[in-house]
A = this chain, B = another copy of it.
Amino acid sequence: MIIVMKREATEAQIEAVVRKIREFGLDANVSKGTERTVIGAIGDERKLDPEQFDILAGVDQSLHIVKPYKIVAREWHPQDTVVDIRGVPLGGPQIQVIAGPCSVETDEQMARAAQAVVDAGCRLMRGGAFKPRTSPYTFQGKGVEGLAMFRQAADRHNLPIVTELMDVRTLETFLEYDVDVIQIGTRSMQNFDLLKEVGRISKPVILKRGMSATISEWLMAAEYIAAGGNHNIIFCERGIRTFETYYRNVLDVTAVPVLKRETHLPVIIDPSHAGGKAWMVPALARAAIAAGADGLLVEMHPSPCEAWCDADQALSPAELNTLMGELRGIAPVLGRSI
């Protein structure tokens, strides 16, 4: 950590900072500049908190120079991690498109959806049984009944399933239904108790970015899961909140190369929630893959007009097919297949 002193800081104030650094078992390097003195803390600075120094007299500001995350950092694990999802590799040369409806509705809808997923050449299926809804008065998901329908429809095609976990108390049920990938939604990215729970199991976890989470907070949320022992983490960018009102969120495509540099874990994109309209999805999906994403999480409904939620953001089976064709054209440019 670096502590920058105020221009008028006294010798005694400088010494007090040095003393505090040593109390934590670190060493101090004092560098006197023309205008200011800068003090460097030498040793494992993860033990120090800037706020403990900012409050001392004569201190202008203090900054960490080492990243606060470690297990998820590429710095400590240079090679890419490939997450194995019941035989389907995510994070390697093969791009994975996870498709399926926003919410599980009926057996028939799930059967048709699963068929469409397979027909489009996708290897993983998504679907929501427990739904986080802004209003208490709207459809909240089919719950456990939905999990059962989903499992059955996917099993017919041997598709691993991805679904969202909102409540720690439901984890047991997820394990019973052998959910293959547990999705942590944008509103739960900093539900630290939930993160700790999925850190204790070994199932792959898709960690969606909080709608206004910084890259650093997102990496720290993943570190919570990793610190518990579960390293099968997949980052999923789904659009961030900005001042723009034309679309629901702004897909932060820059997060792809940045995460690829900061972490060894796979990165996927959810183009459906980003834009919020089906007609924006193909452009965003192509952009994501071209930027280097390892995969996509896409909403597809066998009959979008009849969907019980987010009707206007689901692709039809035919649109998914066309999109997969386009992605097959882009993948080789990045040395990948799909």
Contact = CB atoms under 8 A, between A and B. Distances in A.
Interface of A: 2, 4, 7, 29, 31-36, 38, 40-46, 49, 51-52, 54-56, 60, 63, 65-66, 68-69, 75, 132-138, 166-169, 187-188, 190-193, 196, 211-212, 214-217, 220, 223-224, 227, 240-247, 250-254, 256-258, 261, 274-275, 277-280, 283-284, 286-292, 304-305, 309-313, 326, 329-330, 332-334
| Oligomeric state, in copies | 4
A287 B65 contact: no
Given A214-B243, A214-B244, A243-B214, A252 B250 contact: yes
A309 B43 CA distance: 21
B283 A51 contact: no
Contacts of A309: 49, 51
Nearest to A240: B242
A29 B256 CA distance: 36
Given A188-B191, A191-B188, A227 B136 contact: yes
Nearest to A169: B168
B254 A274 contact: yes
Contact of A40 (B33, B46, B138, B220): B33
6 contacts: A2-B38, A33-B42, A187-B191, A212-B241, A243-B243, A253-B287
A302 to B, nearest CB: 14
B292 A283 contact: yes
Nearest to A33: B42
Contacts of A256: 283, 287
Given A66-B35, A132-B192, A290-B286, A311 B242 contact: no
A87 to B, nearest CB: 29
Contacts of A187: 190-192
Contacts of A36: 65-66
Contacts of A250: 240, 242, 250, 252, 254
B51 A310 contact: yes
Nearest to A78: B8
A236 to B, nearest CB: 16
A24 to B, nearest CB: 13
A220 B60 CA distance: 19
Given A246-B258, A283-B256, A290-B289, A305 B56 contact: yes
A66 B33 CA distance: 10
